[in-house]
Homo-oligomer: A and B are copies of this chain.
């Protein structure tokens, strides 16, 4: 590699470079609760799927690759959370990790996926390294995005009833939501399909689709979120 030199005299070979990893917190809703996808290794215990970044690879592509090869998940839209850069965070040496977050419907994950429940941003089982903090950031990010749009990550299908949508939001925000207020908050973000769901004992519920390009009202965050997750820990 030629030694390009910029105005301040730095070159790309002046000093050691960090190893760069990515880790991905894949959230999902199963049994009406938030879960995070983990992988188990004999040496490090439970951890988020991750990998080292390959030469000239983007971190997002590395995260995609980690999900594909270690968790059997593809075609996921991810969001940068933070870089974890404590030089002592990895026993192997100077390893930084870019954390990504996303959410995927349960039925897009392998049937034997290892899911750990998440309560108020905290995994029910302890994770390796600083991965619990990554989960906390992922949940805060998920909640912020879900207060902005109707189920942007398609945790439920393309067509759904308001009840199904509300139960999804109750799982994400971890508390009950009033059914009439919830309906009014989201109704502007829904398109009616005309169809109804097969009734479960009572009046059949109407099936809706996400309305493209609509945001939920600013008040939605206040309605959904009972409290804020402390992401500073």
Question: Which residues of A line the B interface, CB within 8 A?
Answer: 1, 4, 6-8, 10-12, 14-20, 41-44, 51-60, 80, 82-83, 85-87, 91-96, 98, 218-219, 221-222
Contact = CB atoms under 8 A, between A and B. Distances in A.
A20 B17 contact: yes
B41 A93 contact: no
A95 B95 CA distance: 16
Nearest to A52: B10
Q: Report, nearest first, the 10 A-B pairs whose CB atoms are least far apart.
A: A218-B222, A17-B17, A4-B92, A56-B87, A7-B41, A7-B43, A16-B55, A12-B93, A12-B19, A59-B85
Contacts of A91: 4
Contacts of A87: 56-58
Contacts of A60: 85
Copies in the complex: 2
B85 A15 contact: no
B6 A43 contact: yes
Contact of A219 (B11, B54, B57, B218): B218
B222 A41 contact: no
Contacts of A15: 52, 54-55
14 contacts: A1-B93, A4-B91, A4-B93, A10-B51, A12-B93, A15-B55, A17-B17, A20-B20, A55-B94, A56-B87, A58-B85, A59-B83, A59-B96, A218-B219
Contacts of A6: 41, 43-44, 92
Contacts of A56: 87, 94
Nearest to A70: B8
A178 to B, nearest CB: 17
